């Protein structure tokens, strides 16, 4: 089973468990995330969700065996990226959160990470662009120049730096991210569910116009990428573990 659900009182923990594939997200995983987050949204017994990976990796993003990032009608990419949630979702990160994995983190409401966590948007090194919200959510969650550097170079962002910059809410020792996220969820559960819901809705309403612009710009970039020779070369080079030979077209 690619996704496991765990009930912790009024908190639903959603675990991506494909460690042999670095928790890369395929159709089965997407459907599992969708089912879990549908349950979180629809079951009044749950007030907060936590999404996490395994002890060594959060997620490497889209499984390269998939032609495009798998999506669902309600949640969008990976069942989470475009979801209109009414309950908070906390990302609990151990190990790498790269590409689409980082975009899941950026789509969450709060982030707890251990000192093993690493973040990156390496798409440019593969002839791609961050197509699941990273092109605009990185600029929202990080200083513009830091986000621009990550998007243009594909370099990693150290978790301590991410914490200093405000991307990570709480930093834990290795192995402690999930329990710290559950503790944070417990703090949210002490608040009025109506207040939490309406706060999330008010925040989302303020970001909606920016999101529409961000998705439009992403779609335009993706259209060019899909027709480019560099995309084919970038993916081939990655799979063959060699430096890409860019043609610039």
Length of the chain: 249
- Catalytic position from the list 28, 123, 179, 198: 123
Strand residue runs (E) in 99-217:
110-114, 118-120, 156-158, 170-172
Burial tier of 24 (Cβ tally within 10 Å: 0-12, 13-18, 19+): buried
d(CA 89, CA 13): 10
Residue 229 among the catalytic residues? no
Residue 187 annotated to the active site: no
Sort strands 76-77 and 71-72 into parallel, antiparallel or unpaired. Answer: antiparallel
Kindly write down the DSSP assignment for every residue of 25-48, as one continuous string.
Answer: B-HHHHHHHHHHHHHHHH-TT--E
From the list 103, 187, 208, 240, the catalytic residue is 103
Active-site residue set: 103, 123
């Amino acid at each position: 089973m690619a996704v496991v659900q765990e009930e912790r009182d009024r908190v639903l923990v959603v675990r991506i468990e494909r460690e042999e594939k670095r928790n890369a997200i395929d159709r089965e995983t997407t459907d599992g995330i969708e089912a879990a987050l549908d349950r979180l949204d629809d079951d009044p017994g749950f007030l907060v969700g936590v999404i996490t990976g395994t002890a060594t990796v959060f997620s490497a993003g889209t499984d390269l065996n998939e032609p495009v990032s798998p999506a669902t009608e309600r949640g969008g990419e990976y069942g989470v990226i475009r979801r209109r949630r009414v309950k908070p979702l906390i990302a609990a990160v151990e190990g790498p959160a790269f590409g689409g994995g980082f975009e899941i983190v950026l789509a969450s409401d709060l982030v707890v990470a251990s000192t093993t966590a690493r973040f990156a948007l390496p798409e440019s090194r593969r002839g791609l662009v961050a197509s699941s919200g990273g092109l605009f959510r990185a600029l929202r969650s990080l200083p513009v120049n830091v986000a621009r550097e990550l998007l243009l170079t594909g370099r990693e962002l150290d978790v301590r730096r991410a914490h200093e910059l405000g991307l990570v809410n709480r930093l834990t020792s290795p192995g402690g991210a999930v329990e710290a996220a559950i503790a944070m969820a417990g703090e949210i559960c002490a608040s009025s569910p109506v207040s939490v819901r309406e706060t999330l809705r008010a925040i989302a309403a303020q970001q909606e116009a920016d999101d529409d612009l961000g998705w439009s710009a992403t779609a335009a970039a993706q259209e060019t990428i899909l027709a480019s020779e560099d995309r084919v070369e970038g993916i081939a080079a990655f799979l063959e573990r060699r430096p890409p030979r860019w043609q610039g077209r």
